[in-house]
């Protein structure tokens, strides 16, 4: 490939005319600067570069401006956007105009995809907007600039996601939708590293939000989750299902409550005066053994079932959170307050404590606040 012409093409693509196809001024480049950028200021590289320029000039691809008195001195290289077709045909690669047209056609072909009636108008408008933006080099957030298989995969997957019904774990849904159990997770990583019920957002979440006007912003919103949505609890908790009442306080061990069961309960209550959320499951089980009368809920970053359960409990209870004393532990406390609207106070959490793990406090005692001699730091 002619290195000089390839560099002219690169600079053209970076210009307004190259990016958008808009009528613009010629690309004018200082000849010596161009040759220097190619490492062709002298010797054989320069001779080859000058031959390439002469050939391109002969073919009418560009113009070479020379010194008025000494034509052997090159001054400027001028390329007109009108010569784009000739330049890229000579290089044997698609031109920016051709690539924009292919990309616009890719979005246009998705206009008639089979999407649920609820989203059909929004889908068509969204695809049309992307088509029009692609044609003029406008923003197409979430997609590649070239009409490749990656874009095709997303445009085929999104309608199937919009039609998804019911709740399933992400790897099952990924097998059904993609034929690969891990593909959805790679396109929609969780919001936070290590978040047990993290919202699967990523690129897919952003695209879903664009299509639906923000009504769906993650796979989690579609019922596709990393883990089953449940709350792990222990203590004096009861749920009234409009007839039978389930009293979990009679049980010695912890119980997992599904989000569906929390939502279908007509009333949720407790005989406890305190609710203690516990970050680490190991510590949660040690505290549950004590049967202290405190309502215990295990959670790191709170999932949907935990948030629903806390929201269903009386607001006038004491709210405490026992987590690790590191940045992540205090971030969990902040998110817990934000998502539930409850004024959780930290229990035995002290910034800068080393070691910061809950387990480092040792075996808990039988009565509140469980760790004699350790400040509550509330």
Do 162 and 185 reside in the same domain of the chain? yes
Q: From 369, 358, 356, 259, select the one nearest 320 (Cα to Cα).
A: 369
Residue 139 lies in a domain: yes
Number of domains into which the chain is organized: 3
Do 239 and 356 reside in the same domain of the chain? yes
- Which residue(s) pair with 64 in the sheet? 77
Residue 372 lies in a domain: no
- Asked if residue 306 has pLDDT above 80, the reply is yes
Residue 7 lies in a domain: yes
Measured CA distances, 157 to 114, 153, 162, 174 (Å): 11, 6, 9, 10
Do 177 and 221 reside in the same domain of the chain? yes
Do 143 and 189 reside in the same domain of the chain? yes
- Which residue(s) pair with 322 in the sheet? 278
* pLDDT confidence of residue 196: 43
Average pLDDT, the chain: 91
Do 239 and 147 reside in the same domain of the chain? no
CB atoms within 10 A of CB 24: 15
- Most confident listed range (15-24, 37-46, 289-298): 289-298
- The alpha helices in 188-258, defined as continuous H runs, are 202-212
Residue 378 lies in a domain: no
Residue 45 lies in a domain: yes
Do 218 and 313 reside in the same domain of the chain? no
> Of 29, 61, 93, which residue is a domain's last?
93
Residue 373 lies in a domain: no
- Average pLDDT, integer, range 201-213: 91
Cis previous bond, 355, omega within 30: yes
When pLDDT is cut at 50, 70 and 90, the band that residue 193 belongs to is: very low
CATH number at residue 309: 3.40.1360.10
Residue 369 lies in a domain: no
When pLDDT is cut at 50, 70 and 90, the band that residue 176 belongs to is: very high
Do 220 and 146 reside in the same domain of the chain? yes
Do 300 and 318 reside in the same domain of the chain? yes
Do 107 and 215 reside in the same domain of the chain? yes
Quick: pLDDT tens for 96-105. Answer: 999 999 999 9
Which residue range(s) make up the domain with 356?
230-361
- Between CA 312 and CA 309 the distance in angstroms is 5
Residue 21 lies in a domain: yes
When pLDDT is cut at 50, 70 and 90, the band that residue 354 belongs to is: confident
Quick: pLDDT tens for 292-305. Answer: 999 999 998 888 89
Do 208 and 245 reside in the same domain of the chain? no
């Amino acid at each position: 490939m002619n290195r000089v012409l390839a560099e002219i093409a690169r600079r053209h693509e970076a210009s307004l005319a190259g990016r958008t196809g808009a009528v613009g001024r010629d690309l004018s480049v200082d000849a010596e600067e161009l040759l220097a950028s190619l490492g062709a200021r002298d010797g054989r590289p320069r001779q080859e570069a000058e031959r390439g320029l002469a050939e391109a000039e002969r073919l009418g691809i560009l113009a070479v401006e020379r010194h008025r008195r000494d034509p052997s001195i090159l001054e400027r290289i001028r390329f007109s956007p009108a010569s784009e077709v000739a330049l890229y045909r000579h290089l044997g690669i698609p031109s920016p105009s051709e690539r924009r047209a292919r990309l616009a056609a890719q979005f246009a072909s998705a206009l008639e995809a089979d999407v649920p009636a609820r989203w059909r108008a929004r889908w068509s408008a969204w695809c049309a907007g992307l088509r029009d933006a692609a044609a003029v080099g406008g923003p197409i957030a979430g997609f590649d600039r070239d009409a490749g298989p990656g874009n095709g995969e997303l445009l085929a997957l999104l309608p199937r996601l919009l039609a998804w019904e019911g709740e399933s774990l992400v790897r099952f849904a990924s097998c059904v939708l993609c034929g690969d159990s891990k593909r959805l997770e790679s396109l929609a990583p969780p919001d936070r590293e290590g978040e047990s019920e993290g919202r699967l957002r990523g690129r897919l979440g952003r695209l879903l939000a664009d299509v639906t006007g923000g009504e769906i912003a993650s796979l989690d919103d579609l019922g596709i989750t990393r883990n089953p949505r449940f709350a792990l609890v222990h203590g004096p908790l009861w749920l009234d299902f409009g007839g039978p009442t389930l009293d979990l306080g009679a049980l010695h061990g912890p119980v997992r409550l599904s989000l569906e069961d929390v939502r279908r309960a007509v009333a949720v209550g407790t005989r406890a005066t305190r609710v203690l959320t516990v970050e680490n499951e190991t510590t949660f089980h040690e505290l549950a053994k004590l049967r202290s009368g405190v309502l215990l809920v295990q959670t790191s970053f709170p999932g949907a079932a935990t948030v629903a359960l806390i929201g269903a409990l009386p607001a006038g209870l004491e709210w405490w959170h026992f987590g690790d004393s590191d940045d992540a532990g205090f971030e969990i406390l902040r998110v817990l307050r934000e998502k539930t609207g409850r004024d959780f106070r930290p229990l035995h959490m002290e910034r800068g404590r080393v070691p910061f793990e809950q387990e480092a406090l040792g075996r808990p005692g039988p009565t509140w606040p469980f760790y004699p001699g350790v400040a509550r730091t509330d």
